[in-house]
Structure 1
Amino acid sequence: MTAFRFGVVAAAQQGGARWRDTARRAEELGYSTLLSPDNLHIPTPTAALATAAAVTDRLRVGSFVLASPLRTARAAAWEAHSLTTLTEGRFELGLGTGLPSMREQAEELGLPYGSAGERLDAISATIDHVRRLDGEAHTHTPVMVAAGGPRARRLAAAKADIVTLAGGVLTPRDEFAAHVEELRSAADGRELELAMNIFVVGDEVPAWMRGFIQADAQALIENDSLTMLRGGVDDMAAELERRRAELGVSYVSVNSAFIEEFAPLVARLSGT
């Protein structure tokens, strides 16, 4: 089985000192990657990730995810390749089509939001540009695609290194399993690292998170939601091992609100 590794998702919205502390703490706790989201209401992830890499030694940094409506494909590739170069290979490019709310943000930037197909085409073009730039410099930027639909899964299977299984917070386990089979079939032997993001660690959903995912703890528990991880450390470790065995998920990220609560799992499972 592919060895576990873990990421922490955080936004650099509380100032430079707090952000640098978050990066250092993630490295101290053994997380593989610090991941930064993308929207116009927080500092741009490229600047944030360059800062995080500068104050750490081993920590990888990644976008989670660059939204295709917020920059052209060539601009996204330029930023990505620049980070790969400046971090000496510690950057991972995460790409996604963006939330519907980003229509207004795209308009503010003077860019088209585009149809679902056009936004996926932009992701495909970004990957092609990155591969060209990397090839010229003899580097390789790992690309992660957040794949929530069939076309996104086909694109990820063909061009990505890492695929985040995206879907609704109440998506059943067997549906995720079907998505994995679809990915494996489309990849036709290409090796893919499968990833999943955990929104909630424990039995309670913080109020701010409840507003974001539009579900409470009872709904998550009743639907066996894979966006929640609960119980003791033994229980949570067993659940992650189950997901790896059944779904092939070995790269797990967690919101920074749970960076300390999740740390015992990082210590136990990293590299195993």
Structure 2
Amino acid sequence: MSVRPFRFGVNMAIGESRAKWQDKARRAESLGYDVLMVPDHLGFPAPFPMLASAAEATTTARLGTYVLNSGFYRPALLAREVATIDLLTDGRFELGLGAGYVEEEFKAAELPFVSGGERLKQLKHTVAEVRRMLTGDHQPPAVQRPAPPIMVAGVGPRMLRFAAEQAEIVGIAGALPLDETDTGHAALAKTMDLVRTAAASRETAPELNLLVQGVFPDPSKAELSFQRTLAPELSDERILKLPGMLIGSPATIADKLREYRETYGLTYFSVIEFHMDVFAEVIELLR
């Protein structure tokens, strides 16, 4: 069985000006990142205009969302956005979707914050309808045929089971410890077993992505304010041991990612922009 090659993405959210944003996009591409992504949170720039601007400054990198809050969009309107951005990126767009999880953002958007089950139901409907429209006689048509690839990302078992069954890319957004004895790696193994089982009947296996929350050559100098928001109940020591935290030299981290590929089939790794430069040293070792 052939081994899927590595891919690397960077999730970029800060756009101070058009010039600085495009400079950052060019830099990310020059550092070897395969996919330039933007998040979808109120308080940050709107995803689609940012991606269109990044496309103007780059030539080969793909452009994607990590990830759109499906609760913010109606399928027909989202299909129009996807087809248009696929045109403006010359067929380089990848659609990343999630169910949304920040209650305050739903309230600010004057949308109901329904249960997790209902949000997942909305996401399933969005994926099905957007794919149906884009693979049909949609106007405007997308450049990529049959349609731009879809990533579904999350952490819960129901979300990841759906992603494994339906998406071209499964995004594992994190793995928190199962209990006091777990560093999160047992949780990751359990998640990957679930994904593998759910995708077993598919003709083409999905690509597997892991969100890297931190890259620290020296853990004693790690600044963890962002990571604490994701796992507020964990100590700094336990945060640094999570699967999404990469610690050590570029060679050590490269070996860890090779291990993740061999053990779990993870081949696509996304970092947040604060770690873009240091992680680029790892990319060089994995090409």
> How does the TM-score come out when normalised to structure 1?
0.90
> How does the TM-score come out when normalised to structure 2?
0.86
Counterpart residue number, 1:186: 198
User: Per-residue CA shift, 1:91-146, capped at 9, x if unaligned?
Assistant: 111111122x3x23223323222221221122212212222232134442111111
Structure 1: runs of 5 or more not aligned: none
Query: Tell me, what secondary structure is at the counterpart of 1:254?
Result: strand
1:5: Cα distance to partner? 0.7
What aligned pairs does 1:173-252 form with structure 2 within 5 A after superposition? 173-190=185-202, 191-202=205-216, 203=219, 204-213=221-230, 214=232, 215=234, 217-221=236-240, 224-252=241-269
What aligned pairs does 1:1-272 form with structure 2 within 5 A after superposition? 1-99=3-101, 101=102, 103-135=103-135, 136=137, 137=141, 138-170=145-177, 172-190=184-202, 191-202=205-216, 203=219, 204-213=221-230, 214=232, 215=234, 217-221=236-240, 224-270=241-287
Counterpart Cα distance in 2 of 1:210 and 1:151: 24
Counterpart Cα distance in 2 of 1:54 and 1:130: 25
Counterpart Cα distance in 2 of 1:125 and 1:58: 32
Structure 2: runs of 5 or more not aligned: 179-183
Counterpart Cα distance in 2 of 1:265 and 1:169: 24
The more displaced of 103-112 and 153-162 is 103-112
Percent of residue pairs bearing the same amino acid type: 35
Check whether the contact 1:78–1:130 (CA below 8 A) recurs between aligned residues.
no
Higher relative contact order, chain-length normalized (CA < 8 Å, sep 6+): 1
Check whether the contact 1:77–1:126 (CA below 8 A) recurs between aligned residues.
no
1:25: Cα distance to partner? 0.4
Counterpart Cα distance in 1 of 2:226 and 2:162: 30
Check whether the contact 1:73–1:123 (CA below 8 A) recurs between aligned residues.
no
Q: In structure 2, give the amino acid aligned to 1:39.
A: H
User: Per-residue CA shift, 1:199-241, capped at 9, x if unaligned?
Assistant: 11112432542443335642224xx311111111211110000
In the alignment of these two chains, the number of paired residues is 266
